[in-house]
Amino acid sequence: MFNLMKTAVLMAAITALFMVIGRLLGGQQGMVLALLLALGMNFFSYWFSDKMVLRMYNAQEVDAQSAPQFYRLVQELAANAGLPMPRVYLINEDAPNAFATGRNPQHAAVAATTGILRVLTERELRGVMAHELAHVQHRDILISTISATMAGAIGMLANFAMIFGGRDEEGRPVNPIVSILVMILAPIAASLIQMAISRAREFEADRGGAEISGDPMALASALQKIHRYAQGIPLEAAEAHPETAQMMIMNPLSGRGLSGLFSTHPATEERVERLMALAQAQGRRA
């Protein structure tokens, strides 16, 4: 519940930031134009995200014949979650990672690298895939698209102001010092909020995945193991397309943000601590 409330507050914050920046730099017309452009681009990304991302990672679809154990594992977890069976993909990469994509539960896909199948036990893999199905259940692709729309629109307003100069709603030039500060700081603030939303959704998917699998410690163990292995094994497709990093169960990029502020994922230690607390709470209830 806390993470749901946190997401709602952050979504309201990025929307409010867009409206304030829009009024300040572009007036009502500039604000509407930037929003429409961002909506158009992100709607396309949202609608076709599954095809685009799976192609970027050269993912190969599998079924009950080509990958029986993995396919049945996903099938059982989807049934536990009350979700339609997603399409299942494997990515021929040594780096251990996984992600979910698709615009809604009826058009969802889950993908895992061959590396993660080798590194994890079946129990740990169940925890990971339950986490990915929780993203589907929570419609996190839609949430990330909305936050990306707002952040993109704020960036466009800053670019418009840089090229044409900031104008208020009556068409008067904005104070140049204020305009420059806003152009620099507004996109940074939008990115910080967007990353905070992503981290909140990861925490919520950890919790939801633990409920789907019924085994919080399996996901905790998997996260620790992925964290250790992923440090020295680059995921080339993610490095080439860093915008996809937020989809992964673990940040696949070699670079790290300043104190985690620009990180798309929470610290692994904190995720594990929360899962351990959840496991203890479940033990007490049992």
| Catalytic machinery residues | 132
Is beta strand 109-113 parallel, antiparallel or unpaired with respect to 60-62? Answer: unpaired
Is beta strand 87-91 parallel, antiparallel or unpaired with respect to 98-101? Answer: unpaired
Break the chain down into helix, strand, coil percent, rounded to 5.
Answer: 70, 5, 20
Q: CB of 5 within 8 A of CB of 154?
A: no
Q: CB of 220 within 8 A of CB of 278?
A: no
CA dist 95 → 29, 91, 209, 261 (Å): 46, 10, 21, 24
CA 137/CA 270 separation, integer angstroms = 23
Tell me how crowded residue 63 is: count the other CB atoms within 10 A of its CB.
10
Q: Tokens 């780096």 correspond to what residue?
A: 95
Q: CB of 121 within 8 A of CB of 142?
A: no
Q: CB of 153 within 8 A of CB of 223?
A: no
CA 156/CA 22 separation, integer angstroms = 10
